[in-house]
């Protein structure tokens, strides 16, 4: 079984839990206490991401599926995690939907099924830095195309910074300066957009970066059936793990 999804959160926490978990509002003052208790009891695996946003997730249930990933690009989380499900259906998503009778972020597309029972979960967090990712992309598209792409992106950044300064200066100085600055900004944005869309090398490099992201999800969860759950830590802080690896 291989399941992929994008887990979003507005409270910097994503998780995996049994779809049949008991519904019940958690008082805000006891939120972290209740989440930690449910984690230790094998009801919830929580990831404190350190930031809001979306995180690509892949759940696998066999060694063969796990071995298909380039695991040297990942840090294995050094904690034991356990989950138990009587239904065999799990939900992946923002923890704000956990024990929430009216989900806001998750849907049927964020559910996956396994045989009911207990599971030990091994977690792997993507840990390639920008330099390593660029090396991987360069091996695919070539150093020259990557250099061209980086030069265009650098030029775009410098242009945007200059435009911002011009607009701010025009705003505080004179409308006669501000209006030309805005028109110039529109022209620069149009020029770079046209340049990027028409440059096959830039498009090729951007496709390579997208393909890299597609085959390197942010988090991999490997579910292994076990006779019964052990004592689960229940959560980990993603930023702390990646900082330690760095």
User: How far, in Å, are 10, 98, 112, 204 from residue 18 at the CA level?
Assistant: 21, 9, 10, 41
Residue 1 and residue 61 in contact, taking contact as beta carbons nearer than 8 Å: yes
Provide the 8-state DSSP code for 164: H
pLDDT at res. 30: 84
User: How far, in Å, are 22, 65, 66, 67, 134 from residue 212 at the CA level?
Assistant: 38, 18, 17, 17, 10
- Show the CA angle centred on residue 30, arms to residues 45 and 57, nearest 5°: 20
pLDDT at res. 166: 61
Please tell me the pTM assigned to this model.
0.73
The one-digit pLDDT tens for each residue of the chain (246 residues) are 899 999 999 999 999 999 888 777 777 788 888 899 999 999 999 999 989 999 999 999 999 999 988 888 888 988 889 999 989 999 999 999 998 878 889 999 999 999 999 999 999 998 866 666 666 666 666 666 666 666 666 545 555 665 666 666 666 666 555 666 666 666 666 555 555 555 677 777 677 666 666 778 889 999 999 999 888 888 998 876 665 544
Nearest-10 crossing angle of helices 200-215, 130-141: 120
pLDDT at res. 246: 46
User: How far, in Å, are 49, 59, 114 from residue 86 at the CA level?
Assistant: 28, 19, 10
């Amino acid at each position: 079984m291989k399941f992929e999804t994008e887990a979003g959160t507005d409270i910097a926490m994503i998780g995996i839990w049994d779809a049949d978990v008991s519904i019940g509002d958690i008082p805000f003052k006891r939120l972290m206490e209740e989440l930690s208790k449910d984690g230790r009891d094998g009801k919830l695996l929580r990831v404190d991401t350190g930031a809001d946003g979306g995180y690509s997730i892949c759940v696998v249930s066999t060694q063969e599926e796990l071995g298909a990933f380039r695991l040297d690009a990942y840090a294995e989380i050094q904690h034991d995690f356990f989950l138990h499900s009587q239904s065999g259906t799990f939900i992946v998503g923002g923890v704000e939907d956990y024990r929430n009778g009216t989900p806001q972020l998750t849907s049927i597309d964020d559910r996956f099924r396994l045989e009911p029972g207990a599971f030990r979960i091994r977690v792997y967090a993507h840990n390639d830095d920008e330099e390593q990712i660029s090396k991987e992309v360069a091996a695919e598209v070539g150093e020259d195309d990557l250099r061209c792409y980086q030069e265009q992106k650098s030029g775009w950044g410098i242009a945007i910074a200059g435009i911002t300064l011009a607009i701010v200066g025009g705003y505080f100085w004179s409308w006669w300066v501000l209006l030309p600055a805005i028109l110039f900004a529109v022209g620069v944005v149009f020029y770079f957009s046209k340049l990027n869309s028409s440059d096959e090398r830039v498009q090729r490099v951007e496709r390579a970066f997208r393909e890299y992201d597609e085959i390197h999800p942010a988090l991999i969860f490997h579910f292994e059936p076990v006779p019964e759950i052990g004592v689960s830590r229940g959560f980990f802080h993603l930023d702390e793990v990646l900082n330690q690896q760095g």
